[in-house]
Amino acid sequence: MTFLITAGPTREPIDPVRYISNRSSGKMGYAIAEAALDAGHDVILISGPVNLVPPRNAKFISVWTSDEMFGAVHQFADSSDICVLCAAVADYKPAQVSPVKIKKRNAEFSLELIPTRDILQSLGLQQDRKFLLVGFAAETDYLEANATKKLGEKNCDIIVANDAHIGMETDENELLILFCDGETKKISRAPKTFLACELVKIFSNSQQKRLTKKM
Ligand code: C5P
């Protein structure tokens, strides 16, 4: 099968030297890419800026902004079997990007932000999609409630939820997996490499089941 995986943060420019971003390390997405390759799948890895070496056998697409990630995902989603949107896409971007460095002044300064396009939701809206759609939810509170809401709103097949206090910038995570048929699965705290192997098995099985149901 072909896995499309997004990973890492996005950077939303303010001016030529500044941007808005977040603390995502990309480790979970890269671990899933490695695990999928090890299991014999093809991988398209679309990554924001991170300090990790891309897996050698993946088709690697490097992006910076949410708009670039949106474009790359839409270019390859329909030729993929499983889309795993693990990236921490910025939720807002500056309404305007200054073409020159904004000068420091001794006064308050506010920046107008507008929402970025939701890539996961845009794929969920595709009524006739053939691929399995997996989203991630990193939450600091009400993990299950927030993840359940996301599963519905973004119309995906699976949401993988994790506590942002445990998973951000670390090598470990603890996962709660929510399926669209109401099933849930918990995987206790473990290295991201181990979790990635479990996730790849779960995603491939779910896509196989989904395809058999549709036949
Ligand atoms: O709504 P929230 O950002 O918490 O949802 C997280 C999920 O949505 C992740 O799978 C993330 O990759 C995806 N997402 C996206 N595009 C955005 C924001 C989030 O694909 N603009």
Over residues 183-201, the pLDDT tens digits come to 999 999 999 999 999 999 9
DSSP for residue 186: E
Over residues 168-185, the pLDDT tens digits come to 778 888 999 999 999 999
Relative to the CA of 119, which ligand 1 atom is closest?
Answer: 20
Mean pLDDT of 69-94: 98
Lowest-pLDDT range, 51-65, 87-101, 102-116, 161-175? 161-175
* Stated length of the chain: 215
Residue 152 scores a pLDDT above 80: yes
Q: Whose CA is nearest to atom 2 of ligand 1?
A: 137
Residue 167 scores a pLDDT above 80: no
The CA-CA-CA angle for residues 211, 162, 127, to 5°, reads 30
CA distance 176 to 150: 13
Task: Look at strands 172-179 and 158-163 and give their pairing.
Answer: antiparallel
Does 167 contact ligand 1 (Cβ within 6 A)?
no
DSSP for residue 55: P
Banded model confidence at residue 165, pLDDT cuts 50, 70, 90: confident
Per-residue tokens: 30: 């890269």
DSSP for residue 11: -
Banded model confidence at residue 139, pLDDT cuts 50, 70, 90: confident
Residue 213 scores a pLDDT above 90: no
Relative to the CA of 156, which ligand 1 atom is closest?
Answer: 10
CA distance 173 to 99: 40
> What's the gap between Cα 21 and its chain centre?
14
Mean pLDDT of 205-213: 91
Per-residue tokens: 106: 């001794």
Report the run of H or E that residue 116 belongs to, with start and end. none
CA distance 173 to 194: 10
* pLDDT of 185: 96
- Ligand 1 centre distance from Cα of residue 145 (Å): 16
What is the phi/psi pair of residue 78, to 5°? -70, -20
Does 66 contact ligand 1 (Cβ within 6 A)?
yes
Does 160 contact ligand 1 (Cβ within 6 A)?
no
CA distance 10 to 69: 8
Quote the percentage of the chain above a pLDDT of 70. 99
- Ligand 1 centre distance from Cα of residue 6 (Å): 10
Does 29 contact ligand 1 (Cβ within 6 A)?
no
* pLDDT of 215: 66
Mean pLDDT of 63-75: 98
Of residues 36 and 214, more confidently modeled? 36
Mean pLDDT of 100-112: 95
CA distance 20 to 29: 21
Active site residues: 22
* pLDDT of 137: 93
* pLDDT of 163: 85
